[in-house]
Structure 1
């Protein structure tokens, strides 16, 4: 049940909110129970065959958390739980003909919870709280991946489980902006992207660049739009979900890009894989009398062990996150190379490029990666990149009356990407927003008009891109 479809917009969401408002009058237990039931119905509507898998995953992980708390060796239970989660993920994501919807997201959220409780000292959450943490429908299908330290206390609170005007107004603002990103900015680009990537060998210079840039823009507006909508729904019921994007195409390095793009996944892998691996390597080197200072990192052996190794492992896991295909593997290797070059430059030179040069160079790297990410084969990606390099020809020199309008639309989209504040900055009136949202009659009318536009454009739109991951 996509957020941008009529059944959700005009049916499920209004009923879920009305039910929450009524259930909240009976107390927090009733409100939480209602949201759990709504979430199970939401998942069943999209993937009924995998509903038992979701329920068993939540129940199994909760049982593991309780076992960790009473066991003398909680670490073993944590390791067992993580291994079982990864085994289920590998089976249903990579070996099953029809991957389970949203499996990567709710599995990683629960793995993070197991690791958070691995010391055995932190009491496990209550059943209702954990079921909502792992299975609440806004983040169920495409994240963000929730951090237990930040979000579990919100689900465990006993007050505030009522629908309020303030939460509804702010949450609706997030939701409407996300809906507009999806329906008005992302989906119309498909008319250029699909035919372009279907026949990359036929594209000359401008059509190749147009298809590639349109896809990078679609990917950003589609995924960040989903995140805005998920944050908005959670906000409506009093929950605060983390951001997943922080103006990633403004990054001045590929390292900074990954700190701004799909932030919840990056943070999860940094805290569970990259940081522990780096720390283990540093401890090993120190125990064996090997230096770990900046000078030793600049040596070939030091760079490979202390910087390169953790990066390679982390990026390979990001590749597998997206799928076990050669294209995703090459995508991970490409970004691994970008990151290693970035770190070599930092270690060896340390010079800072002009901001506009750094942003342009970083975006060019990301764009090449996006071409590979979208292509069905490496050969098609190579053909698209060849077209962008002009190897398929410059194109017809006769003027095309459609080209100026197409260029103008791209300029508008890039102006939004590079100049506009984030949704959170705008909705919460942070300094970066010059015209912040305020709860007022004027903004209510404006948001109502925007919501109408989003709903009118929602009928035939596609599903969110990251639903398949």
Structure 2
């Protein structure tokens, strides 16, 4: 069930909302929370009911261990130290994540290195396992440190399963959510939150189905394994994916925050105009903020952070982002992407320590171009495919090698939100020009204006915001009904 689907918007979300506040209105607070947990499990099981037991088992296991490792409880520790129990629990979580996410990858690489043909059943990655596993590992560590002090099972189950964040984040901290779930302020309908929630949800929905899904048309075609590229198609392909991923993930985050606000819950900001960044460090303060926070708090700092020698700090930065790349998926392409970002952060730190600077416009251009190039490795199916696109991006001579007569012979299937209505085939040259226009529009949307969160909390006329919300919502819903939308990109991670 997608946030952008008619079933979610017109059936699941209203039923969940009215059922929750109806129970709260009758002072059945615990029943209301159980209702939300049940709705969230239904939302998860809508994809594949077979993985609900895995999710529930993870919740029970981590809740029990979280109490046992806490300095504030007297849970049984089986005669072992809290630290050892914490290590064992983290190992169990990582073992399950590793089995489902990396077993196939390990077998494939083992066969390639040894020349064997070892076979293993193809393991399907359970939806959202990376996010709910990382969320609960954070809970275990926070419990051990004494930062998680509230151990109500219903609240904990809601903390893990709450449907706006369950599938693709944000990665939550126990302490930032439990106070909200306990607060009486969240039990009653808050019309201001409903308005803000619907406003930011509508912006996110528009980003997803109108912008991201249309960039996906050319990005998917351009990243087809073995596709050949010239200068124009290479740039159109790379920039299409760069903007597709931006609006897809940004749209998801907006819809997650908006849906949660309907229930008076504020999820942490996870996306803050990252393509406005003037350096790579600023980019990671803005892109997938909760993942960056997680990598900092649970990998970078435990490795020693910046409290070491310069060489060790550089190593800590580098290895943190290599692991961050691997977290995204079982592929060497993700590792390469992590290596690039780790290396860029090392260079940036070295650059800043020497007091070097560059003009803001140049700093933005260098940062954006690096991010765009790195996304090529993130999206490409193989190193050879990535190299073809990167070579095309510098192959200026190819601009003069495609004649008007040759262009129509290179055809591309147009599908997706606009494509379903067009139902036709267009030559690459026409598509490229159309995509370039979209890229220019997207650049103007992203760079100078406020993002969805800033527009939501900004003062202004409710009438004007309502009008904008209505227009965006109607357009996006119409597009959703007319097309077969793909899933959000981060569902794959």
TM-score relative to the length of structure 2: 0.85
Shift, 1:268, TM fit: 0.7
Using the TM superposition, name which of 201-210 and 107-116 deviates more: 201-210
Matched ranges for 1:142-153 at <5 A = 142-153=168-179
Shift, 1:122, TM fit: 4.8
1:447 matches 2:469: yes
Give SS of 2:210's match. helix
Show CA shifts across 1:221-276 (max 9, x none).
Answer: 00010010000111110111011111111111112111111110000110111112
Q: Report the counterpart of residue 254 of structure 2 in structure 1.
A: 228
Q: Report the counterpart of residue 345 of structure 1 in structure 2.
A: 351
Give SS of 2:316's match. helix
Shift, 1:372, TM fit: 0.6
CA distance in structure 2 between the aligned counterparts of 1:358 and 1:385, rounded to whole angstroms: 21
1:19 matches 2:19: yes
User: Using a 3 Å threshold, how does the CA distance of structure 1 residues 208 and 121 change in structure 2: closer, same or farther?
Assistant: closer
User: Using a 3 Å threshold, how does the CA distance of structure 1 residues 122 and 243 change in structure 2: closer, same or farther?
Assistant: closer
C-alpha contact (below 8 Å) 1:117/1:124 kept by paired residues: no
1:102 matches 2:128: yes
Match among 385, 392, 395 for residue 390 of structure 2 = 385
Give SS of 1:331's match. helix
1:413 matches 2:442: yes
Matched ranges for 1:177-326 at <5 A = 177-198=203-224, 201-279=227-305, 282=307, 302-305=309-312, 307-326=313-332
Shift, 1:448, TM fit: 2.0
After superposing on structure 2, the runs of 4+ consecutive aligned residues of structure 1 that deviate more than 6 Å are none
Q: Report the counterpart of residue 363 of structure 2 in structure 1.
A: 358
Shift, 1:453, TM fit: 1.1
Show CA shifts across 1:400-448 (max 9, x none).
Answer: 666654433211100111112111110000xxxxxx55433x4324322
CA distance in structure 1 between the aligned counterparts of 2:403 and 2:360, rounded to whole angstroms: 34
CA distance in structure 2 between the aligned counterparts of 1:437 and 1:70, rounded to whole angstroms: 52
Shift, 1:77, TM fit: 2.7
Q: Report the counterpart of residue 8 of structure 2 in structure 1.
A: 8
User: Using a 3 Å threshold, how does the CA distance of structure 1 residues 382 and 90 change in structure 2: closer, same or farther?
Assistant: same
Show CA shifts across 1:258-308 (max 9, x none).
Answer: 1111110000110111112125x84xxxxxxxxx6xxxxxxxxx4221x21
Give SS of 2:61's match. helix
C-alpha contact (below 8 Å) 1:178/1:229 kept by paired residues: yes
Using the TM superposition, name which of 100-109 and 116-125 deviates more: 116-125
CA distance in structure 1 between the aligned counterparts of 2:377 and 2:430, rounded to whole angstroms: 30
Using the TM superposition, name which of 232-241 and 21-30 deviates more: 21-30
1:86 matches 2:94: yes
Q: Report the counterpart of residue 117 of structure 1 in structure 2.
A: 143
CA distance in structure 1 between the aligned counterparts of 2:349 and 2:273, rounded to whole angstroms: 22
Matched ranges for 1:130-145 at <5 A = 130-145=156-171
CA distance in structure 2 between the aligned counterparts of 1:8 and 1:141, rounded to whole angstroms: 14
User: Using a 3 Å threshold, how does the CA distance of structure 1 residues 64 and 128 change in structure 2: closer, same or farther?
Assistant: same
C-alpha contact (below 8 Å) 1:386/1:392 kept by paired residues: no
Using the TM superposition, name which of 103-112 and 330-339 deviates more: 330-339
Q: Report the counterpart of residue 456 of structure 1 in structure 2.
A: 478
Shift, 1:218, TM fit: 0.3
Using the TM superposition, name which of 364-373 and 24-33 deviates more: 24-33
Give SS of 1:184's match. helix
- What is the alpha-carbon root mean square deviation over aligned residues? 2.0
Using the TM superposition, name which of 123-132 and 207-216 deviates more: 123-132
1:40 matches 2:41: yes
Give SS of 2:66's match. helix
Shift, 1:211, TM fit: 0.8
Q: Report the counterpart of residue 288 of structure 1 in structure 2.
A: none
CA distance in structure 2 between the aligned counterparts of 1:115 and 1:315, rounded to whole angstroms: 20
C-alpha contact (below 8 Å) 2:218/2:435 kept by paired residues: no
CA distance in structure 2 between the aligned counterparts of 1:29 and 1:202, rounded to whole angstroms: 59
CA distance in structure 1 between the aligned counterparts of 2:434 and 2:90, rounded to whole angstroms: 52
CA distance in structure 1 between the aligned counterparts of 2:284 and 2:226, rounded to whole angstroms: 28
